[in-house]
A = this chain, B = another copy of it.
Amino acid sequence: MIVKGRHYKTVWLEGSTVYIINQPLLPHKFEIMECPDHQRTARAISNMVIRGAGAIGSAGGFGLAQAVLEAPENDFTAYVDAAYESLAHTRPTAQNLFYSLKRVYEKVREAADPGQARVMAVKEAEAIALEDINACKKIGEIGAALIADNYKILTHCNAGWLAFTDWGTALSPMYVAKRENKNMFVWVDETRPRFQGARLTAWELKEEGIPFAVIADNAAGFYMQRGEVDLVIVGSDRIARNGDVANKIGTYEKAVLARENKIPFYVAAPTATIDWNCAHGGEIPIEERSGEEVTAISGRDEMNTIRSVCIAPEGAAARNPAFDVTPARFITGIITEKGIVKPHELKKLEGKGAA
């Protein structure tokens, strides 16, 4: 997508170097991190320099390809195996990461010799990234049809291109609609506690030139009630077979409010997000993170230094569930790369080939 007028992906490979947009510095600084070897790429993943399902998947694939390029002929397999292990341990619950690593690793095993393995590993890693880009772009094209000219759209968290290799999911329909010359305005839920909306979504929209306003999560209902929200689109971390959707904490609140105010509520996600082994939302484990993410806030001070301030009384208890589950009945439709489906019709997509 567009940053300072240029096209960027979240992560890419050039020669044997992986380049990654340094996300913890956003929106305060736009910086590309160079990872000249797979160890540095692994560290970038574990330090969350890059985050988001699709983006981590691509980074992992590129990281393993890097290791294959680096591996000495006389110790080839052991080197690649060790790299595989270290990359797999960077983010222990990232499905896309394991998926990418496995695909690249299988190509290496199919290869006749290290020379062929290097070519095939790079090609496979590039293919994985491209598939992510294409799925997201397709979601954008399909979802853009929901956006009428001059629509006001609410989104929660960051399901933008920073979370994927390019385009993103919830924001992709807006990026496509913009290229179709539609006007729109985006209400950006700041998304407490980690402010992915105020930090990342606002930054993406600003760079893309789409008008928006950051709002406290508390104000979303207010604008819905006033008729100033035409459509809600959010992303998803995991979708159960029955159409229940796990996503960033607060998504459930917006879904209930959207229904109360008769506003269409869409979830945008690649079909890879659907967990066919998960019968319903109650089976999705909800990560509880440190309460400090609620009480301590980091941002840039007047000297442009990033620092953290505490808002609550010293030692105040805080609870911090990272995700919630929105029951299928609140969801108007799920926008995937294979089309838009009602949540209870999700099964139609099972086993269906890529579009």
Decide yes or no whether A110 CB sits under 8 A from chain B: no
- Which chain B residue lies CB-closest to A221? B253
Most buried by B among A219, A256, A296: A219
A233 to B: closest C-beta gap in Å? 17
B214 pairs with A295, CB closer than 8 A: yes
Q: How many copies does the complex hold?
A: 2
Q: Mark A199-239, 1 if CB is under 8 A from B, else 0.
A: 10011001000011111111111100100000000000000
CB neighbours (8 Å) of A256 from chain B are 221, 256-257, 260
Structural contact, B198 and A321, CB atoms closer than 8 A: no
Name the distance in Å between A34's Cβ and chain B's nearest Cβ.
Answer: 24
Bound form: Cα–Cα A317–B210 in Å: 11
A311's contact among B217, B220, B221, B297, by CB below 8 Å, is which? Answer: B297
Interface of A is mostly: mixed
Q: Given A202-B316, A216-B294, A317-B212, check contact A221 B252 (CB 8 Å).
A: yes
Q: Considering the chains assembled together, what is the distance between the CA atoms of A312 and B309 in angstroms?
A: 15
Asked if B300 and A310 make an inter-chain contact with CB atoms under 8 angstroms apart, the answer reads: yes
Query: Does A298 count as interface, using CB distance less than 8 angstroms?
Result: yes
B residues less than 8 Å from A350 (CB atoms): none
Contacts of A301 in B (CB 8 A): 307-310
- Interface residues on chain A, size class: 35 or more
Checking B217, B219, B300 against A309 with a beta-carbon cut-off of 8 angstroms, the contacting residue is: B300
Give the distance in Å from the alpha carbon of A306 to the alpha carbon of B311 in the complex: 10
Q: Which residues of A does B touch, CB under 8 Å?
A: 27, 190-193, 195, 198-199, 202-203, 206, 211-222, 225, 248-250, 252-253, 256-257, 260, 286, 291, 294-302, 306-321, 324-325
- Give me the 3 closest cross-chain CB pairs, A-B, nearest first: A218-B250, A299-B309, A27-B313
Report the Cα distance A295→B310, complex, angstroms.
Answer: 15
Q: Residue of B at shortest CB range from A185?
A: B317
* Complex alpha-carbon distance, A354 and B193, angstroms: 43
Q: Whole-angstrom distance between the alpha carbons of A19 and B225 in the complex?
A: 42
On whether A222 and B324 interact (CB within 8 A), knowing A216-B250, A249-B216, the answer reads: yes
Q: Cβ of A202: which chain B residues have Cβ within 8 Å of it?
A: 312-313, 316
**Bound-complex Cα distance A295 to B213 (A):** 11
Quick one: closest B residue to A194, CB to CB?
A: B216
A218:B312 contact, CB within 8 angstroms: no
Chain B CB within 10 A, most for which of A250, A253, A315: A253
Contacting pair A216 B203 (CB below 8 A): no
Partner of A218 from B222, B253, B295, B300 at Cβ < 8 Å: B253
Sample of 8 A–B contacts (CB below 8 Å)? A192-B217, A203-B313, A206-B315, A216-B294, A217-B217, A218-B250, A221-B253, A222-B324
A219 adjacent to B249 (CB under 8 Å): yes
- Which among A203, A211, A248, A324 has the highest number of chain B CB atoms within 10 Å? A324
